[in-house]
Amino acid sequence: MNTVLEIAIQAAIEGGKKIMEVYAQDFSVFTKEDSSPLTEADRQAHESIKAILAETNLPLLSEEGKLTPFEERKNWETFWLVDPLDGTKEFIKRNGEFTVNIALIKNGTPVLGVVFVPVTGMLYFGTEEKGSYYLELGSTDVTLSPEDIIAQAKALPSAQDAAVYTVVASRSHNTPETEAFIDEKRKKHGEVNTISAGSSLKLCLVAEGKAQVYPRLAPTMEWDTAAGHAVAKYAGCQVYDFKSNTELQYNKENLLNPWFVVERA
């Protein structure tokens, strides 16, 4: 697993480099068939990540790649699930709250996840064997080898539980249902603090211990959550379907996630 983790970390950092090269320029914004935005950064990061992960000879399902029919991918026991640029809206706003998400899925469950924040150089990773860790690399200009990064990383959660119960919510996709969820937490805990963030950073904030819960009562796709799911899960959190209370599953015929909650156990 360490070798596979090293490859995933390398892929995430290299994808982040491609993103920052575009971020430093004037860039065009295109609209995909589902009306979501797309930039050259999404495409370049995808190609870079795809080339590096190819070393593992495992199948790849990427938001920006060709969508493999379910009849073929339903037979995949282990595969990569990637969002080369999660938070394209945040990228376009230039607020820094976007990530590279790389997850390894085995039998529908994320067994490894890497989340990289190109603007800050913050790297999160989690595996079922090692637990979850983070390291502040500072930028995409990284001199450390993936092996050294793993050796120097610090265990999650990194923060003590806040005195005030804290809910993390979406920067761009808040809903009335989310507000109702927060109101229920106020009834239970009294004072509730809310913080906003973009992309898979929200899952990582719960993994870090900086928030107790993240309700996502709005649409997401599997590639949006898989890497952060692994980081949160192996940091001692639960990632579960809002209605059924069962753990989120991946490689479904319909790649749309149900509403879900990330909660520190």
Annotated binding site for Mg(2+): 63, 83, 85-86, 224
Pairing relationship of beta strands 29-31 and 109-117 according to DSSP bridges:
unpaired
Q: What is the pLDDT along the chain (265 residues), one digit of tens a residue?
A: 789 999 999 999 999 999 999 999 999 999 988 888 999 999 999 999 999 999 999 999 999 998 999 999 999 999 999 999 999 999 999 999 999 999 999 999 999 999 999 999 999 999 999 999 999 999 888 999 999 999 999 999 998 776 799 999 876 667 899 999 999 999 999 999 999 998 999 999 999 999 999 999 999 999 999 999 999 999 999 999 999 999 999 999 999 999 999 999 7
**Angstrom distance (rounded) from CA 29 to CA 169:** 25
* Confidence (pLDDT) at 170: 76
Annotated binding site for substrate: 63, 85-88, 224
**Angstrom distance (rounded) from CA 249 to CA 18:** 30
| Domains defined along the chain, listed by start | 2-155 (3.30.540.10), 165-264 (3.40.190.80)
* Confidence (pLDDT) at 118: 97
Annotated binding site: 63, 83, 85-88, 224
245 contacts: CB under 8 Å, gap ≥ 6: none
**Angstrom distance (rounded) from CA 113 to CA 171:** 22
